[in-house]
Amino acid sequence: KEVIIMDIGKTQGVLPSSERIPQERYTMNLKTKVLIKDVRKDDLQSGSTIILSRSDPAFIEALFKQEVPEMQSGVVKIESIARESGERTKIAVSSSDEKVDPSGACIGQRGVRVQAVTDELNGEKIDIINFNRNIEKFIASSLQPAHVTDVILDEDTKTARVRVAADQLSLAIGNNGQNVRLAAKLTGWKITIEAEDAVAAVVEEAVKETE
């Protein structure tokens, strides 16, 4: 598959197809932001290859650090990231200062900070969630924009059974299961969604290890 060679200051980097955001198009002289993901030594040459990425979850963190002074100072921290590149990302954030709301800091006044990140990602949706050490509350928040009625945990299997009102079921599951899938990745728990009336379909998503 084709790779893209990019000038990054005094040297060049390689943006493989696997590290690009799906459907993005690249042209000569295009200026865009990238993450330096890896530096690999060449076996047959004396130099190294710089691997760039726009699809890696760490790219999200790097973009927010540019926009959020509270992250630069270390007050606000990203605890976990779940991303389906080009479509949607969920991030869980915390604050070491009780006076600073971490999600509010990331969103910014009138949404200007998160919008800057979204614009760089060509419209990728970003959900910002306050991290909570209470796992029931964290799982409930991770499923936003759906409203969760109840969370029942099975510590042995690290599975959460989540109940929602019937009119919240499609929101909780998301398009093609994306919302519950990202919530599972974000929290590290298997999540089962069911309607309170127990008639609607049940969806279960296993946590997949992020590569």
Q: Is 51 helix (H, G, I), strand (E, B) or coil?
A: strand
pLDDT for 203 equals 46
Q: Is the pLDDT of residue 184 over 60?
A: yes
**What is the spatial distance between Cα 65 and Cα 152, in angstroms, rounded to a whole number?**
35
Strands (DSSP E) found in 115-189 = 125-130, 148-154, 159-164
**What is the spatial distance between Cα 164 and Cα 170, in angstroms, rounded to a whole number?**
10
Can you list the domains of the chain with their CATH numbers?
Answer: 3-53 (2.40.50), 56-131 (3.30.300.20), 133-211 (3.30.300.20)
15-24, 41-50, 112-121: which has the highest mean pLDDT? 112-121
First to last CA, the chain: 20
Partnered with residue 154 across adjacent β-strands are 159
Burial of 186-201, coded b for 16+ CB within 10 Å and e otherwise, reads bbebbbbbbbeeeeee
* Tens-digit pLDDT profile for residues 25-53: 888 888 999 999 999 887 666 678 899 99
pLDDT for 198 equals 54
What's the mean pLDDT when you consider all of the chain?
Answer: 91
pLDDT for 159 equals 97
pLDDT-above-70 percentage for the chain: 91
pLDDT for 10 equals 86
pLDDT for 40 equals 85
146 in Cβ contact with 172 (< 8 Å)? yes
175 in Cβ contact with 145 (< 8 Å)? no
Q: Is the pLDDT of residue 13 over 80?
A: yes
Question: Which residue bears the tokens 């990238």?
Answer: 34
* Tens-digit pLDDT profile for residues 51-94: 999 999 999 999 999 999 999 999 999 999 999 999 999 999 99
132 in Cβ contact with 141 (< 8 Å)? yes
pLDDT for 129 equals 97
